[in-house]
């Protein structure tokens, strides 16, 4: 068994992990990135569409281009890239952490790290998670798996598809399938509003004349060997059933932060996001273990995950240098907001928070409040669950108590 | 020395596989004719996987006697063949005075049946055994020799050891015609393959009625009784330590909460008759019903934790007293019927196999025990059970051992390759053999890799690979422009 040592071990080489590693290495920490796949980039590599990088690189890139830029930065910063390595466990060991890595190239490695950054991304919710009844034929995929098959393996998942859920991957796949000569018969969404970004609704459905049925439920999948049909029912009239013939069903019904390693090493998880509970430094409940990107909470854009990763990478270095910030001011999600990340605010410096609306609200007011004091207000034409909200605040008075974010507006 | 007699077993489920294994220890040629693409892919793959405790039926019935014998055989078989099996014990709990009287009846039956270790439990004792039981439990029984088995793992292990002892397994072999001439059965499949045999055992599960007709045997009808089951994530807030039984209903043993041999929790099954032998659909109403019943016993059980659902079919003989039909055919020569093997058929299968061998001998089969049989298999320890040090040693043998393909269930490429080389060339076959794709992501991450490995090992294209044989192709035939 090999032994390796580093200051900071980042698990996951996606948009968040690479950025965290780059930030940590740029601060002078010896940094290693552990990733299961043969090449860095994570899920970016199968996202061959453009729209990446507008915030982070200030230009429009495809997923693989974005990954390549990130990987290049990381290489230049002398980060040790452990591709094809799966982290099996993290064990706190005195002041440091011991990671066990499995690799088909090098066998088993014990990696000793001063701090660990979890950037393990997320997984897709499946048919089972929304308990769709019916048969269990071939031809049922998560949207991300279908994307991998089409973009990485060059195989078509089927000939005529129904897409369940209007998450961004599902929308992107509606367009991708259409371009590949696979007919998209329908996209159905159980909510009365789309789950994906407005730009994806326009560019991936509207531009191709693909029909989106909102407030509609899939009530069954049928077919013995391969999918033959699905049944749909509008929420407003559950007795009404429409049968659509298709041989493929894609599920794009939400993402869940991947936190198996975190769970196993005792990291406290957030009941709403499924990611870790983190303080203003993105540190979890286990000292020296940090979290960022989609492993922490699901982001709309890779750029945001990278921005969060960069902050996290720097905080991990500060931690290793023994810098201890004053105690956080607790932060909570108030009216019409589902959560905030992180869950604490460091006094006296700017802190950036991400959160997600619980419903669609027009002419909305988005504000941060501490006690009876409104710290900051933003006006929004509309707030949607599909679009993350972010606010940067600086709070100087810890004694004034909990900071609460709120969202008010007209119900759509 | 006379040529060995030949027994053809129609159906490679738990019954056929157990029979093939025990026959393979004797001087007889054995062939399994399996209609599906892999063994165990019919009735056997989709059930509760319970090794029953021997208290449900009087030992004076055939089913009751075979259940009890089968239960006792499982311990030794699992040690010898290493399939996933856990003798975790069975609890049947009562939540009303009415139920209490019924459970007491089963307890007495267990004692009469001489079930080893049968125990009557006070509410306090039950709570000590199973802290997650609902409030208001009034008492119950514990059958410590009851347990769980991974049914497909069991069938695979039996078949693979039978094969090492010379048995032959023909898959995708749908028996279409059979003719008895010159003292032998001449059997042909729908694809033109053929097989001759001195004796035929009809262990064709749901299709035993059709197979009997092909051989000119007894005329009977088998209808499926559906059983929906729900698998829960390994991270459930409470996983029982025993199989939890309710008071049974008229047609079934009711909805159970099961700590599966694979480490998940399962709730189910339903018991709904259908006419259609391929109807494995689940319904939302039955899901609600299952969880309602399960939550009455274990309140922590929740639909939130569902990672997979499926429906199994029990082959129910119509107009037949008892459940099993185990007999020498009175109509066709050299034909043994093993039909209607529903619950407790899985538990009873080792005993059913011995019983069938008795019938074969009665019908004239001469099958003395082999003087030498293949050595028992060594335990193929899965990667998920290894320490990092052990994994590193396996890496020295084959680097694919530390190449993780399925992250949820921690399955290595070496284990997938082994499954394919042992003949499990469908996605479901690989899944049942290795657990790859059975975890919480339901193969979202590993499907593409597993398809590549199957394609590489079999020389097929990805487009040719199926979920479970037949027309269940994973992808369309055409490629996408890269």
Pick the CATH number of B87-147+223-314 from 3.20.20.70, 3.30.9.10, 3.40.50.2300, 3.30.390.30: 3.30.9.10
Q: List the single best residue of A1, A88, A136 to mutate versus B (max B Cβ within 10 A).
A: A136
Q: Is B52 a catalytic residue?
A: yes
Please name which of B7, B96, B46 lies closest in space to residue B260, comparing C-alpha atoms.
Answer: B46
Whether residues A108 and B471 touch (CB distance < 8 A) is answered with no
CB pairs under 8 A between A and B: 144
A171 pLDDT higher than 70: yes
Whether residues A124 and B444 touch (CB distance < 8 A) is answered with yes
Q: What does the alpha-carbon distance between residue A392 and residue A351 come to, in Å, rounded to a whole number?
A: 5
Residues 337-376 of chain B whose Cβ lies under 8 A from any Cβ of chain A: none
Percent of chain A with pLDDT over 90: 98
- Give residue A184's pLDDT: 98
- Give residue B481's pLDDT: 58
**Structure token digits, residue A73:** 């930065």
- Give residue A374's pLDDT: 96
Separation in Å, CA of A397 to nearest CA in chain B = 40
Q: Cβ contacts (< 8 Å) between A155 and chain B: which residues?
A: 462-463, 475-476, 479-480
Q: What does the alpha-carbon distance between residue B342 and residue A97 come to, in Å, rounded to a whole number?
A: 52
Put simply, whether B308 touches A (Cβ < 8 Å) is yes
Going through B122-210 in order, the beta strands assigned E by DSSP cover: 139-143, 147-149, 168-170, 175-181, 184-189, 194-197, 199-202
Catalytic residue (one of B52, B56, B242, B424): B52
- Give residue B322's pLDDT: 87
CATH of domain B1-86+148-221+318-379: 3.50.50.60
- Give residue B253's pLDDT: 84
**Interface ipTM:** 0.95
Q: Provide the angle, in degrees to the nearest 10, between the axes of the packed helices A15-26 and A302-320.
A: 40
Q: Cβ contacts (< 8 Å) between A152 and chain B: which residues?
A: 448
Q: What does the alpha-carbon distance between residue B252 and residue B240 come to, in Å, rounded to a whole number?
A: 21
Q: Which residue of B has its CA nearest to A257?
A: B441
Tell me if residue A50 falls in helix, strand or coil. strand
- Give residue B2's pLDDT: 64
How open is the CA angle B326-B329-B332, to the nearest 5 degrees? 155
CATH of domain B383-464: 1.10.10.1100
Q: Cβ contacts (< 8 Å) between A128 and chain B: which residues?
A: 306-309, 442
Q: Which of B282, B408, B475 sits opposite A134 (nearest CB)?
A: B282
Torsion angle defined by CA atoms of residues B464, B418, B456 and A126, in that order, rounded to the nearest 10 degrees: 60
Separation in Å, CA of A84 to nearest CA in chain B = 8
Put simply, whether B303 touches A (Cβ < 8 Å) is yes
Put simply, whether B283 touches A (Cβ < 8 Å) is yes
Please name which of B422, B46, B466, B102 lies closest in space to residue B269, comparing C-alpha atoms.
Answer: B46
Put simply, whether B392 touches A (Cβ < 8 Å) is yes
Please report the DSSP string for A140-189 in residue order: EEEHHHHHHIIIII-B---SEEEEES--HHHHHHHHHHHHTT-EEEEEE-
**Structure token digits, residue A221:** 């999948």
pLDDT tens digits, A324-344: 888 999 999 999 999 999 999
Put simply, whether B403 touches A (Cβ < 8 Å) is yes
pLDDT tens digits, A215-249: 999 999 999 999 999 999 999 999 999 999 999 99
Separation in Å, CA of B309 to nearest CA in chain A = 7
Residues 422-481 of chain B whose Cβ lies under 8 A from any Cβ of chain A: 427, 440-445, 447-448, 451-452, 462-463, 466-468, 470-476, 478-481
Q: Which residue of B has its CA nearest to A220?
A: B283
Q: Cβ contacts (< 8 Å) between A226 and chain B: which residues?
A: 471-473
Separation in Å, CA of B172 to nearest CA in chain A = 15
Q: Cβ contacts (< 8 Å) between B281 and chain A: which residues?
A: 133-135, 220, 222
A6 pLDDT higher than 70: yes
Per-residue pLDDT 10s for chain B (482 aa) are: 568 999 999 999 999 999 999 999 999 999 999 999 999 999 999 999 999 999 999 999 999 999 999 999 999 999 999 999 999 999 999 999 999 999 999 999 999 999 999 999 999 999 999 999 999 999 999 999 999 999 999 999 999 999 999 999 999 999 999 999 999 999 999 999 999 999 999 999 999 999 999 999 999 999 999 999 999 999 999 999 999 999 987 777 899 999 999 999 999 999 999 999 999 999 999 999 999 999 999 999 999 999 999 999 999 999 998 899 999 999 999 999 999 999 999 999 999 999 999 999 999 999 999 999 999 999 999 999 999 999 999 999 999 999 999 999 999 999 999 999 999 999 999 999 999 999 999 999 999 999 999 999 999 999 999 999 999 999 998 777 54
Whether residues B403 and A158 touch (CB distance < 8 A) is answered with no
- Give residue A325's pLDDT: 81
Region of B163 please: left (phi>0), alpha (psi -120 to 50) or beta.
Answer: alpha
Q: Cβ contacts (< 8 Å) between B481 and chain A: which residues?
A: 154, 180
Q: Cβ contacts (< 8 Å) between A36 and chain B: which residues?
A: 404, 407
Residues 230-269 of chain B whose Cβ lies under 8 A from any Cβ of chain A: 235
**Structure token digits, residue B163:** 């094969």
Whether residues B389 and A128 touch (CB distance < 8 A) is answered with no
Is the four-CA dihedral A266, A272, A276, A279 of positive or negative sign? negative
Whether residues A127 and B448 touch (CB distance < 8 A) is answered with no
- Give residue B250's pLDDT: 73
**Structure token digits, residue A130:** 């929304």
Interval A195-220 mean pLDDT: 96
**Structure token digits, residue B371:** 């003087």
Whether residues A107 and B395 touch (CB distance < 8 A) is answered with yes
Burial of B373 (0-12, 13-18, 19+ CB in 10 A): middle
Q: Which of A103, A133, A224 sits opposite B402 (nearest CB)?
A: A103
Separation in Å, CA of B49 to nearest CA in chain A = 20
Query: What phi and psi, each to the nearest 5 degrees, are found at residue B99?
Result: -65, -35
Mean pLDDT of chain A: 96
Asked whether the domain spanning B383-464 has the same topology as the one spanning B1-86+148-221+318-379, the reply is: no
Whether residues B283 and A150 touch (CB distance < 8 A) is answered with no
Q: Provide the angle, in degrees to the nearest 10, between the axes of the packed helices A63-76 and A15-26.
A: 20
Whether residues B451 and A153 touch (CB distance < 8 A) is answered with yes
Q: What does the alpha-carbon distance between residue B290 and residue B282 come to, in Å, rounded to a whole number?
A: 11
Whether residues A136 and B403 touch (CB distance < 8 A) is answered with no
Domain boundaries, chain B: 1-86+148-221+318-379, 87-147+223-314, 383-464
With beta carbons less than 8 A apart as the criterion, state whether A404 and A336 touch: no
Q: Which of B287, B407, B444 sits opposite A86 (nearest CB)?
A: B407
Q: Which residue of A has its CA nearest to B413?
A: A104
Q: What does the alpha-carbon distance between residue B291 and residue A398 come to, in Å, rounded to a whole number?
A: 47
With beta carbons less than 8 A apart as the criterion, state whether A211 and A171 touch: no
How open is the CA angle B179-B183-B186, to the nearest 5 degrees? 30
Whether residues A88 and B307 touch (CB distance < 8 A) is answered with no
Whether residues B448 and A123 touch (CB distance < 8 A) is answered with no
Q: Provide the angle, in degrees to the nearest 10, between the axes of the packed helices A302-320 and A63-76.
A: 20
A407 pLDDT higher than 80: yes
**Structure token digits, residue B120:** 């009557």
pLDDT tens digits, A8-45: 999 999 999 999 999 999 999 999 999 999 999 999 99
Separation in Å, CA of B443 to nearest CA in chain A = 9
Separation in Å, CA of A271 to nearest CA in chain B = 13
Interval A79-91 mean pLDDT: 98
With beta carbons less than 8 A apart as the criterion, state whether B327 and B344 touch: no
Q: Is the pTM of this model over 0.80?
A: yes
Q: Which residue of A has its CA nearest to B443?
A: A145
SS3 content of chain B, % helix, strand, coil (to 5): 35, 25, 45
Separation in Å, CA of A312 to nearest CA in chain B = 25
Q: What does the alpha-carbon distance between residue B264 and residue B253 come to, in Å, rounded to a whole number?
A: 21
Q: Cβ contacts (< 8 Å) between A100 and chain B: which residues?
A: 388
Q: Are strands A107-118 and A2-11 parallel, antiparallel or unpaired?
A: parallel
């Amino acid at each position: 068994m090999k032994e390796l040592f580093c200051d900071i071990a980042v698990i996951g080489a996606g948009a968040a992990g690479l950025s965290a590693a780059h930030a940590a290495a740029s601060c002078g920490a010896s940094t290693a990135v552990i990733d299961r796949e043969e090449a860095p980039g994570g899920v970016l590599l199968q996202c061959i569409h453009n729209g990446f990088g507008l915030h982070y690189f200030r230009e429009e890139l495809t997923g693989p281009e974005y990954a390549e830029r990130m990987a290049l930065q990381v290489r230049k910063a002398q980060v040790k890239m452990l591709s094809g390595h799966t982290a099996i466990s993290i064990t706190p060991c005195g002041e440091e952490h011991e990671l066990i890595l499995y690799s088909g190239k090098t066998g088993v490695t014990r990696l000793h790290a001063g701090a660990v950054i979890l950037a393990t991304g997320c997984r897709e919710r499946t048919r089972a998670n929304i308990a769709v009844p019916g048969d269990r034929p071939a031809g049922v995929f998560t949207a991300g798996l279908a994307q991998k098959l089409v973009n990485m393996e060059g195989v078509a998942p089927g000939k005529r598809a129904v897409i369940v859920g209007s998450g961004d991957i599902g929308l992107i796949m509606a367009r991708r399938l259409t371009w590949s000569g696979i007919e998209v018969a329908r996209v159905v969404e159980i909510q009365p509003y789309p789950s994906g970004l407005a730009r994806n609704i326009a560019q991936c459905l509207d531009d191709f004349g693909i029909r989106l049925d909102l407030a509609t439920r899939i009530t069954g999948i049928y077919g013995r060997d391969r999918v033959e049909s699905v049944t749909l029912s509008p929420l407003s009239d559950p007795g009404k059933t429409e049968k659509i013939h298709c041989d493929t069903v894609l599920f794009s019904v939400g993402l869940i932060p991947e936190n198996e390693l975190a769970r196993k090493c005792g990291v406290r998880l957030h009941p709403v996001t499924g990611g870790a509970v983190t303080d203003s430094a993105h540190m979890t409940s286990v000292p020296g273990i940090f979290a960022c990107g989609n492993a922490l909470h699901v982001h709309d854009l890779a750029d945001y995950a990278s921005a969060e990763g960069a902050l996290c990478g720097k905080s991990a270095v500060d931690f290793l240098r023994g810098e201890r910030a004053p105690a956080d001011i607790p932060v909570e999600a108030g009216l019409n907001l589902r959560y905030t990340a992180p869950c604490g605010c460091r006094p006296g410096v700017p802190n950036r928070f991400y959160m997600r609306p619980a419903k669609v609200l027009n002419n909305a007011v988005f504000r941060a409040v501490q006690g009876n004091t409104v710290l900051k207000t933003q006006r929004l034409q509309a707030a949607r669950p599909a679009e993350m909200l972010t606010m940067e605040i600086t709070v100087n008075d810890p004694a004034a108590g909990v900071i609460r974010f709120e969202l008010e507006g007209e119900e759509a | 020395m006379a040529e060995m007699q030949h027994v053809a077993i129609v159906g490679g489920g738990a019954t056929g596989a157990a029979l093939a294994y025990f026959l393979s220890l004797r001087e007889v040629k054995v062939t399994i004719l399996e209609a599906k693409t892999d063994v165990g892919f019919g009735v056997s793959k989709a059930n509760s996987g319970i090794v029953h405790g021997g208290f449900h039926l009087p030992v004076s019935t055939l089913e009751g006697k075979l259940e009890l014998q089968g239960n006792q055989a499982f311990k030794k078989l699992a040690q010898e063949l290493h399939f996933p099996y856990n003798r975790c014990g069975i609890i049947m709990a009562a939540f009303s005075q009415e139920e209490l009287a019924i459970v007491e009846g089963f307890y007495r039956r267990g004692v009469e049946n001489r079930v080893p270790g049968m125990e009557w439990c006070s509410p306090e004792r039950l709570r000590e055994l199973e802290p997650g039981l609902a409030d208001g439990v009034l008492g119950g029984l514990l059958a410590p020799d009851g347990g769980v088995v991974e049914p497909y793992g069991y069938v695979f292990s039996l078949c693979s050891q039978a094969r090492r002892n010379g048995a032959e397994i023909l898959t995708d072999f749908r028996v279409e015609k059979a003719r008895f001439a010159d003292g032998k059965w001449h059997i042909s499949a729908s694809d033109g393959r053929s097989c001759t045999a001195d004796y035929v055992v009809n262990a064709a599960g749901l299709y035993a009625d059709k197979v009997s007709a092909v051989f000119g045997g007894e005329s009977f009808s088998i209808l499926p009784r559906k059983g929906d089951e729900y698998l829960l994530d390994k991270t459930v807030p409470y996983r029982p330590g025993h199989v939890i039984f309710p008071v049974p209903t008229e047609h079934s043993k009711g909805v159970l909460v099961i700590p599966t041999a694979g480490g998940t929790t399962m709730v189910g099954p339903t018991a709904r008759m259908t006419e259609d032998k391929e109807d494995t659909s689940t319904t939302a109403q039955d899901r609600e019903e299952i969880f309602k019943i399960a939550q009455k016993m274990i309140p922590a059980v929740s639909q939130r934790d569902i990672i997979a659902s499926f429906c199994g079919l029990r082959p129910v003989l119509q107009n037949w007293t008892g459940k099993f039909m185990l007999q020498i055919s009175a109509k066709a020569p050299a034909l043994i019927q093993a039909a209607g093997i529903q619950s407790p058929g899985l538990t009873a299968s080792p005993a059913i196999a011995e019983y069938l061998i008795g019938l074969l001998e009665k019908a004239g089969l001469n099958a003395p025990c082999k003087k030498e049989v293949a050595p028992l298999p060594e335990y193929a320890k899965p990667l998920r059970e290894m320490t990092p040090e052990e994994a590193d040693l396996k890496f020295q043998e084959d680097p694919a051992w530390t190449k993780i393909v399925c992250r949820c269930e921690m399955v290595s490429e070496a284990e997938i390759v082994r499954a394919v080389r042992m003949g499990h060339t469908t996605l479901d076959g690989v899944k049942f053999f290795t657990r790859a794709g059975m975890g919480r992501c339901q193969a979202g991450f590993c499907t593409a890799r597993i398809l590549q490995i199957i394609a590489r090992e079999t020389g097929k294209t990805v487009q040719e690979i199926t979920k479970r044989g037949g027309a269940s192709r994973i992808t369309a035939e055409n490629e996408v422009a890269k």
